[in-house]
Homo-oligomer: A and B are copies of this chain.
Amino acid sequence: MCELLGMSANVPTDICFSFAGLLERGGRTGPHKDGWGITFYEGKGCRSFKDPLPSCESEIAKLVKSYPIKSKSVISHIRQANRGGISLENTHPFIREMWGRHWTYAHNGQLSKYKRALKTNMHLPVGNTDSELAFCWILDKVKEKYPQRPKNMLSVFRYIASLAKQLKSFGVFNMLLSDGVYVLAFCTSKLHWITRRAPFGKATLIDSDWIIDFQKETTPNDIVTVVATEPLTQDETWNKMESGSFVLFKEGELVVQT
């Protein structure tokens, strides 16, 4: 199994604190030693850092941990390989352009007997993971239903969640997906989220002894939501997602929940 981390915020926010917690699980406090990746949106643009090396040893991960890249939407993943070898092309997040936006996706879980059902045409996987194939299948289905970008993006994300529910029938499918504006989380087995807003308090990472005082790092109007496979802090209450449910965030706020 892998671990997922996502963020949605109403102001560009750095994710160093949460990312540091996740990285510890990449070979030190957790078994996810088969690569890691993170995508930050900045406006319509995005940048990714990826490595097939364990995150706790990666030079690039050290840079990302120490260099506060500020973003309103982030998707991150650390990998414990099951389907597909350990290589850069099999490292999440995966990105494709659709309707003139970059779409970013990461998956935790494992699918079985899916190859015949998940045929794709417009979007083809580069690597050989079940995860990337499922992403290409989702995009093909969305593009078939909506050849042009519709005005109502909520209906698009509801449709994507219904596709995720179909993928769940092939196994474990926990997913984070973003177009840079919205962040969608779909749960099969394990996902948690928390929204932080004023009055901000302190929090301690579970995986290291880093304590943060969010009040010192924020302004009173900041709204920041973090989604993670397991809670990252020990002194806050995280929302546990039900199997088959999804949550959709925009600017840090929950906009759809099932």
Contact = CB atoms under 8 A, between A and B. Distances in A.
B87 A43 contact: yes
Nearest to A96: B97
Contacts of A240: none
A132 to B, nearest CB: 10
A1 to B, nearest CB: 22
Interface residues on A, range: 20 to 34
Please give the count of copies of this chain that the complex contains.
2
Given A59-B67, A67-B59, A96-B97, A88 B124 contact: no
Given A63-B59, A67-B59, A45 B100 contact: no
Interface stretch (A3-11, A23-31, A46-54, A188-196): A46-54
A34 to B, nearest CB: 13
A47 B45 contact: no
A90 interface: yes
Interface in A50-69: 50-52, 59-60, 63, 67
Interface of A: 42-52, 59-60, 63, 67, 87-91, 96-97, 99-102, 122-127
27 contacts: A42-B52, A42-B87, A43-B87, A43-B89, A44-B87, A44-B89, A44-B126, A44-B127, A45-B52, A45-B91, A45-B126, A46-B88, A47-B48, A47-B49, A47-B50, A47-B51, A47-B88, A59-B63, A59-B67, A60-B63, A63-B63, A96-B97, A97-B123, A97-B126, A99-B124, A100-B124, A100-B125
